[in-house]
Structure 1
Amino acid sequence: MKRGYDPKKVVSWAMYDWANSAYATTVMAGFFPIFFKQYWSAGVDVHVSTFNLGTANSLAGITVALLAPVLGSIGDEWGKRKKFLLFFAAMGVVMTGTLGFVARGNWVIAMLLYIFATIGFTGGNVFYDSLLLAVVGRKKMDFVSALGYSLGYLGGGILFALNVLMILNPHLFGLDSVAEAVRLSFITVAAWWAMFSIPLLAFVKEPKVKKEQPALETVVAGLKQLCSTFRKIRQLRHIFLFLIGYWCYIDGVDTVVLMAVDYGLSLGFDQTVLIKALLVTQLIGFPSAIAFGKIGEKLGTKTGIFIGIGVYVLVTLWGAVMKAEIEFYALAIAVGLVQGGVQSLSRSFFGKMIPRESAAEFFGFYNMLGKFAAVIGPLLMGWTSMATGNARSSILVMIVLFLVGGTILYFVREPSTDNKN
């Protein structure tokens, strides 16, 4: 077995995607936008609730974006990425479970819990992503990164399917109402996330560091390291270019994930249709993410990303003019085909470019840009919807982000995998 490719470690690492994708699917993309608009924000104007949801996503993104590089540097310095991952995962689990107990009309409390749960979700991913380099070499990085996303789609999709069944038939589960089923769904996500995080924590090992600094010295060093990392990236032209391009196009990808259901509600589509369409995305996303891993190996990682960006441009154009609910299903299929591919290939593309010994440091910066992108998109979409009073105009701003990101990516050199494990 080649060093850095142990199937047990790889599967254990990928299972964390299975674990926390339940939050991304059931909570972030699925039930929270619906429940926030129709239950916790009952009586609030739809455009205002869209703005509030965008603000919540943006505040969570800003927090993680500011912390990510320093946390990444500390993770490298201490060699305790798993412990930091555990901390953020625990925060996400507790906050998500607590959402199940928030009463009708308490949108402020729901919003605060959602912000902290999302910080736990995205903060944990800083260290999860960086552990990719601890379980696989560069030659198999496209496949393993895609495996994580595909298991995320499958695991998140399985629980989401159960949650959808609970919503559609609450009495089958001994529940009195749809609202009770939604609240219970938040609790099941918390339990799922906690349980399936165990394999990574138990079986994935990380390199030991020579010397561990005191906490205060490490934080100070982390801040200095942030400046140092930025200087390094500025000198590494292709990494710098990639991060700028990634910042643009991943903004569009993340915004589609976070705001799709809210957008459909604003157009007057039935919530059951939106939930079912999201489930379709999950089911298609599982094999498609694996397929994109193979596309990256055969045609090149950058080519795979370009294919995904192209589909997103078409999806955005279609989304701005769609009128029938059946079209939402078609768009859900299209997004499912490429969403995981763009995310996984971007992660592996970056992983191939950076030094292994500074993985958390560089991935901290990578996640920082990703989260700053997630700040701009939802906030811009929410502001546009409220300012124009027309939800359709809000989705068109995504096209510019995809086109600019793709253009910059064109000038980035494909990293070599020669002589790498």
Structure 2
Amino acid sequence: MGTDTVRTEAADDAAGRRREQRGWYFYDWACSVYSTSVLTVFLGPYLTSVAEAAADADGFVHPLGVPVRAGSFFAYSVSLSVVVAVLVMPLVGAAADRTGRKKPLLAAAAYTGAAATTAMFLLDGDRYLLGGLLLVVANAAQSVAMMLYNSYLPQIAPPEERDAVSSRGWAFGYAAGSLMLVVNLALYLGHETFGVSEGMAVRICLASAGLWWGVFALVPLLRLRDRGPSAEKAGLQRGTTTGFRQLAATLRDMRRHPLTLAFLLAYLVYNDGIQTVITQASVYGSKELGLSQSTLIGAVLLVQVLAVAGALTMGRLARVHGAKRTILGSLVAWTLTLAAGYFLPAGAPVWFFVLAAGIGLVLGGSQALSRSLFSHLVPPGKEAEYFSAYEISDRGMSWLGPLLFGLTYQVTGSYRDAIISLVAFFVIGFILLARVPVRRAISEAGNPVPPTI
């Protein structure tokens, strides 16, 4: 084979890879609007108000005959959706590995989530049960789709490109979330100009996120390609338990690296706190502080913008002080931010914006550095299976924060007590992470220890 032919094939491979990468970015662009507009901003306060409309004189609704305080219904629904996702993800992951056909599974998960989100337009009156069902379906579908989406990264980007490609996808998601929030804010604030009620404006915003998700998901589905199963995966026993067996095998292997497991436990604890703050902050701002929906949207926009700046700043701090110390510092900042949130006066949007700025500055960096630090603790050659367990374990723990938030409110009737209860996740996570000797953990995993870590 001539040199020119080799160069031509290499150029074709590079062009094909770039095409796939550009398509891959657009799935983050498609689904991040759900995370931002639906889960973070609109659905929590709106579904809570729908549940309150259906509540009895004591403020309780009774799904399946179980008494639930209306203000806890959204948090419980989020917890249930995570449980459903954790049960489904290993099965879908096993099917994807066994058949090599990720794209049809990604399409099924994405359009299930998009359809459920679009159907949230129907949430009026006292249809809180429908809202809870649609939330469980949409949230679980998004989790499954994100697992499949992330699994494409090693296939479309060589190691030297992976950080840059992953970062661009993350940036696309934040850009889409910000853009849609601006549109949502215009509709919500000007709903009278557009001739719709406030409730109708919220329902349009919810449904538009589903339509956005469905339309832009077409781009990655057209550009990504399936590569078929590996010989090892093709020879696996067919059956619905394959995913759980693989997860169990990976966890057994992790026992040979107890320091890696120790870091993973610390991350799962404090990340559960982070995820709960993200999903419950709008409920706290709306129900406890009496803030308007436009204020909440503006605060989330501020978080979106500052999360990028915070991640870049924390990345620079990590180069000087190390990732572990920087993450520990961010956990202190999270604790102080929640403590300040407990004392926020009602009806004072300026202080809520200050709180949002604090969250934004530590949000992106704490998660990005946690992922990069974990990558040093993964034994060479086992990146895919360890990060698969990381994803599933992450989802498996992230029901606990919303459950604690909901239980605290159910017992005390105070959202202030519910928000301050989340401090426990950051304090415990700090203690667990501080006890991990990361240099020894990296060495025992078989990886070179960076000068600063």
Measured against the shorter chain, the TM-score band is: 0.7 to 0.9
Per mean C-alpha deviation after superposition, the further-off stretch among 405-414 and 89-98 is 405-414
Q: Tell me which residue corresponds to 1:86.
A: 107
Shift of 1:418: 8.5
- 2:207 is the alignment partner of 1:190: no
For residue 32 of structure 1, the aligned residue among 35, 43, 61 is: 43
Aligned mate of 1:336, from 348, 360, 367: 360
The whole-number CA distance in structure 1 between the counterparts of 2:380 and 2:79 is 31
CA separation of 1:81 and 1:307: change in aligned 2, threshold 3 A:
farther
Describe the superposition over 1:214-255 as per-residue Cα deviations: whole angstroms up to 9, x where unpaired. 998142332322221110111122331222111101110000
Give the 5 Å matches for 1:245-324: 245-272=266-293, 273-292=295-314, 300-323=322-345, 324=348
Q: What is the rounded CA distance, in whole Å, between the counterparts of 1:299 and 1:199 in structure 2?
A: 40
Amino acid corresponding to residue 345 of structure 1 in structure 2: L
Unaligned runs of 5+ in 1: none
Matched, 1:42 2:53: yes
Greater Cα radius of gyration, structure 1 or 2: 2
What is the aligned length?
A: 418
* CA distance in structure 1 between the partners assigned to 2:322 and 2:100 by the alignment: 32
* Cα pair 2:28 2:173 within 8 Å, conserved: yes
Cα deviation, 1:126-170, whole Å, max 9, x if unaligned, reads: 122233333445565555444333322211111011011111102
Select 1:72's aligned residue among 93, 99, 110.
93
The answer to which of 297-306 and 152-161 deviates more is 297-306
After TM superposition, give the deviation of residue 198 of structure 1 in Å: 3.3
| TM alignment of 1:357-368, pairs within 5 A | 361-368=385-392
Q: Matches of 2:318 and 2:221 in 1, distance apart?
A: 29
Deviates more, 1:345-354 or 1:187-196: 345-354
Counterpart for residue 374 of structure 1: 398
- Deviation, 1:171, is 4.0
The reply on whether 1:409 has 2:433 as its aligned counterpart is: yes
What CA distance in whole angstroms lies between the structure 1 residues aligned with 2:360 and 2:241? Answer: 42
Match of 2:30 among 10, 16, 19: 19
Q: Which moved more, 1:3-12 or 1:102-111?
A: 3-12
> Does the CA contact (< 8 Å) of 2:51 and 2:70 recur in 1?
no
Inter-partner Cα distance in structure 2 for 1:222 and 1:13: 24
Tell me the alpha carbon deviations over residues 9-28 of structure 1, each in whole angstroms, 9 at most, x when there is no partner.
44433332222110011110
Q: Please say if residues 50 and 126 of structure 2, whose CA atoms lie closer than 8 Å, have aligned partners that are also in contact.
A: yes
Q: Structure 1 vs Structure 2: percent identity of aligned residues?
A: 26
Q: Give the conservation status (yes or no) of the 8 Å contact 1:302–1:349.
A: yes
Amino acid at match of 2:432: I
SS in structure 2 opposite 1:368? helix
Alignment of 1:167-206 (within 5 A): 167-172=188-193, 174-205=194-225
The unaligned stretches of length 5 or more in structure 2 are: 1-9, 61-67
Partner of 2:187: 166
Q: Which digits, 9 at most, give the CA deviation of each residue in 1:314-368, with x for residues without a partner?
A: 1111111111332111111111122122223333433454468655543332222
Does 216-225 or 383-392 show the bigger shift? 216-225
Task: Quote the Cα distance in structure 2 between the aligned partners of 1:16 and 1:345.
Answer: 23
Letter in 1 for 2:116: M
What amino acid is the match of 1:413? Answer: V
Amino acid at match of 2:272: D
Larger relative contact order, structure 1 or 2 (CA cutoff 8 Å, min sep 6): 1
Deviation at 1:81, TM superposition (A): 3.2
Evaluate the alpha carbon distance shift between residue 312 and residue 12 of structure 1 in structure 2; reply closer, same or farther with a 3 A threshold: farther
If the length of structure 1 is used for normalisation, what is the TM-score? 0.88
The 1:352/1:241 distance shift into structure 2, 3 A limit, reads same
- CA deviation string 1:251-288 (max 9, x = no partner): 10000011001112231322232232122212322443
Distance across 2 between alignment mates of 1:65 and 1:330: 35
Equivalent residue in structure 2 for 1:327, among 336, 351, 369: 351
